[in-house]
Structure 1
Amino acid sequence: MSLKGDPAWPLVLCGVKVALLTDCYLPRLGGIEVQMHDLGRHLVAEGHEVHAFTATRGADGTRHGQEVIDGVQVHRLAIPLPGDLPVNPLAPRELRSVLGDFDVAHVAMGVVSPFAMDSTRVALGLGVPTAVTWHCVQDRFRFVVQAAGYVRRWSRRGAALSAVSSVAAAPLVGLSTTPIAVLPNGISVADWAPSGELRVPPGGVVEVVSAMRLATRKRPVELVAAVGAARSELTGRGVDLRLTILGDGPLRSRVLTEGARYGDGWLTLPGRVTREELRARYLDSDLYVAPARLEAFGIAALEARTVGLPVVAPAMSGVSEFVTDGVNGVLTGPSTSELAAGIARLAGDTALLREITVTNQTSAPACDWPDVVRAAVAEYERAGA
């Protein structure tokens, strides 16, 4: 049953056929890839039929074909490109032949998303109710986006536009003729919440942890410099810091070099780990640091905060959506020195560190998947209206 143009849309939105359209998808691992997969499987659990269309090839190298992952029908529309870039200028023709059968299209936008932009144009051209969600902060590119004019065009054609945080939405405000909603990322809170006896951070040695791709945008080198500086400041106060960064990437050697400037044995880089290992590492840590300035949301920081860890992050990042300064952690200025001061302030104040830990352990954030799915469905209703 097609609901396009049905005046009763908001009242009958159940068992809807949803097309998720994203440049990147599993088996690639990243914020958009994992979030779109998780959104899809939770929509399926709510009784919707979900298909994902992507320019990412499959784990077995398949570039064109279909497979089912956690109940989601995944359509691969990839072509051979250097570095397996998720770009396919030939995709619109195929999308045009199939998207008309869907009740709603939900597009995931990154900083540069040619497949997503093509998908949006095709869906709107077919008259399919379309929701577009930005998973990035367009602050540096706002004038380019404004000059291109596609945000305004999409909103005028009825697309429901959203971003994963108010930080990510802010650069788009004024570029659209309709409101930019906030559709947050989600987690399964029960999978991350602490169980059993609550952990109380000890004095003396503070275990600092972070999880990220070791790439420039995530600022891993600056993280090491900030923790190293805080460590030097706290030495005379009987507090030592040890840092573990979970993840891998092209800056690994630079991170190790930066760490050596502040001594030996305090920095650990285990590489990429599973979600189960990540949770276990968080449970054995005392403090989480999210150093990225242009973080649209900060899913790893949200997971750490749900485990109970106090979080230190720049106030300008999307982490501020679920971390209140002095309540769930410390929000700082964007510079490395300001980040270091925030780390030293929290790690050096055992009473504050323990108070925030207890707060985070006993109060779950409002980003559980049932809530996020309801918010997504509200966006589909807005698109259908």
Structure 2
Amino acid sequence: MSWEYPPVVIGGLGRHVHHLCEALAAAGHDVVVLTRGPAGADAGAFAGSDEVRAGVRVVAVPEDPPEFTFGEDMAAWTLALGHSLIRAGLRVLHGRDGDGAAQPWQPDVVHAHDWLVAHAAIAVAQVADVPLVSTIHATEAGRHSGWVSSRISRQVHSVEWWLANESDALITCSASMRDEVTRLFGPGLAQIHTIHNGIDTGAWPYRSPERRPGPPRLLFAGRLEYEKGLQDLLAALPRLRRRFAGTTVTVAGEGTQLQWLSDAARTHRILRSVRFVGRLDHDELVAALHDCDALVLPSRYEPFGIVALEAVSAGTPLVASTAGGLGEIVTDGVTGMAFAPADVAGLTAAVAATLTDPDAAATRAQRARQMLTDEFGWSQIAQETVGVYAAAKRRERSPLRRPLIVERPLPERDPNKPVTTTDVDDPPV
């Protein structure tokens, strides 16, 4: 179960689930994906679909008629999605396919990807009486630097806690995420397995880095959200332009903080040096990776960072913070240049080192490409995931009380952080 699956892809989660499911199917496993249809599409615009793609049965549901908008009614929208997925799951279990024919189907395991499918995954696993495996791709506390003081953040955190504690096995994509899940949702959790995200190197063709004529070109690819740290790259750009005249940044991605980041570029007087190009399709992103001097990932919070693997596969020099899983991918001075999260001076120095010596940057990129061994291949990741499925046993359930969420006053306002409704909709307790 996943709230993202192609063609509905928001970020790395959708790509992860897609590649994992197709690798599982290629290995001979019977895989059904329950997901949603196009954003905002009710049954009048999208009747739902039930089709087999690359060996994977994909059941996509429309949104229910009540008017809920994800950005404004997150809890209600998520519950409504859960209802739709539960109905779809029951149809699959009871054996009604897209043509109404009876084909009973019994899963060996239910695999949930993140909190948005928690209600449906817990319900279907209970009805089918099979183990529930959950991959925790990120946490609300992590996205907000440890703070869950707002009403919406508390709600999301409590659903994450519930999913983690209901699961019979847990998967995280990095050791740092494993530690984060243990700290936030333990004790008493099922075993946590660390399985890295993967990369299909054939889809990200390698091109050896080379000196390019003209001013330096930097690329940022990711969601336009505070935790992705683009604001730090924008703050560093004036310093970089003083040293490397004409340096530009191309920003590939969408998100809630587009206007705030555009205002930040204007404040730093670099608006003409920054191009916000929106979300790029696969071929456009490959071309952008081949055309830049470095991909800069200044994340303040990053469970893994699948775009880093995509850049490595494409041969693009990598400059990244040490946040979360990025710190497990990039070895400073060996496979890329690294810096501490939120360290604008460190970011500036890391980018400058990359631009000053393109030959050394190319050597680091080549070493990074050699790192992409079978450990990051989807067939290996699917095999490890099947091992988690096989070992998972449905645990004895006991009633769960609501989690005790430690309330703390909101931290002093960071002037570089955008104000959102989740920051102010409830007073601190």
Task: Give the TM interval when normalised to the shorter protein.
Answer: 0.7 to 0.9
| CA distance in structure 1 between the partners assigned to 2:211 and 2:324 by the alignment | 26
**2:231 equivalent in structure 1:** 221
Work out whether 1:167 is the aligned partner of 2:182.
no
Work out whether 1:26 is the aligned partner of 2:16.
no
Gaps of 5+ in 1: 1-20
**Pairs within 5 Å for 1:1-385:** 21-30=1-10, 31-57=12-38, 61-62=45-46, 64-77=48-61, 78-80=63-65, 81-83=67-69, 85-88=77-80, 89-91=82-84, 92=86, 95-96=89-90, 98-99=92-93, 101-109=106-114, 112-113=115-116, 115-124=117-126, 126-137=128-139, 138-139=141-142, 140=146, 150=162, 153-155=165-167, 159-173=168-182, 175=186, 176-194=188-206, 198-202=208-212, 205-232=215-242, 234-235=243-244, 240-260=246-266, 261-263=268-270, 265-337=272-344, 338-364=346-372, 366-383=375-392
Q: Which secondary structure state, in structure 2, belongs to the residue aligned with residue 380 of structure 1?
A: helix
Report the residue type matching 1:333 in the other structure: A
Give 1:153 deviation, angstroms.
Answer: 3.7
**Mean Cα deviation higher: 223-232 or 324-333:** 223-232
CA distance change for structure 1 residues 93 and 357 in 2, over 3 Å: closer, same or farther? closer
TM-score (ref. length: structure 1): 0.79
Contact kept in structure 2, 1:213 and 1:249, CA below 8 Å: yes
Report the residue type matching 1:95 in the other structure: G
Higher strand share: 1
CA distance change for structure 1 residues 272 and 90 in 2, over 3 Å: closer, same or farther? closer
Gaps of 5+ in 2: 71-76, 94-104, 395-429
Report the residue type matching 1:181 in the other structure: H
Report the residue type matching 2:190 in the other structure: T
CA distance change for structure 1 residues 61 and 229 in 2, over 3 Å: closer, same or farther? farther
CA distance change for structure 1 residues 125 and 290 in 2, over 3 Å: closer, same or farther? same
**Mean Cα deviation higher: 116-125 or 44-53:** 116-125
Contact kept in structure 2, 1:164 and 1:184, CA below 8 Å: yes
**Mean Cα deviation higher: 137-146 or 264-273:** 137-146
CA distance change for structure 1 residues 128 and 142 in 2, over 3 Å: closer, same or farther? farther
Q: Give the number of equivalent residue pairs.
A: 353
Contact kept in structure 2, 1:142 and 1:171, CA below 8 Å: no
| CA distance in structure 2 between the partners assigned to 1:148 and 1:72 by the alignment | 27
**Deviation digits for residues 183-222 of structure 1, max 9, x if unmatched?**
2222211221415xx2324587332112112233323333
Give 1:325 deviation, angstroms.
Answer: 1.7
Contact kept in structure 2, 1:26 and 1:56, CA below 8 Å: no
| CA distance in structure 2 between the partners assigned to 1:214 and 1:108 by the alignment | 22
RMSD between aligned residues: 3.1
CA distance change for structure 1 residues 203 and 62 in 2, over 3 Å: closer, same or farther? closer
TM-score (ref. length: structure 2): 0.72
| CA distance in structure 1 between the partners assigned to 2:69 and 2:159 by the alignment | 30
| CA distance in structure 1 between the partners assigned to 2:127 and 2:164 by the alignment | 15
**Deviation digits for residues 41-62 of structure 1, max 9, x if unmatched?**
2222222221111244487942
| CA distance in structure 2 between the partners assigned to 1:63 and 1:229 by the alignment | 53
Q: Which secondary structure state, in structure 2, belongs to the residue aligned with residue 345 of structure 1?
A: helix
| CA distance in structure 2 between the partners assigned to 1:141 and 1:255 by the alignment | 22
**1:17 equivalent in structure 2:** none
**1:8 equivalent in structure 2:** none
Q: Which secondary structure state, in structure 2, belongs to the residue aligned with residue 324 of structure 1?
A: coil
Contact kept in structure 2, 1:192 and 1:307, CA below 8 Å: yes
Give 1:251 deviation, angstroms.
Answer: 3.3
Give 1:373 deviation, angstroms.
Answer: 1.3
**Deviation digits for residues 256-306 of structure 1, max 9, x if unmatched?**
443343446432223222211211111121211112222111111210122
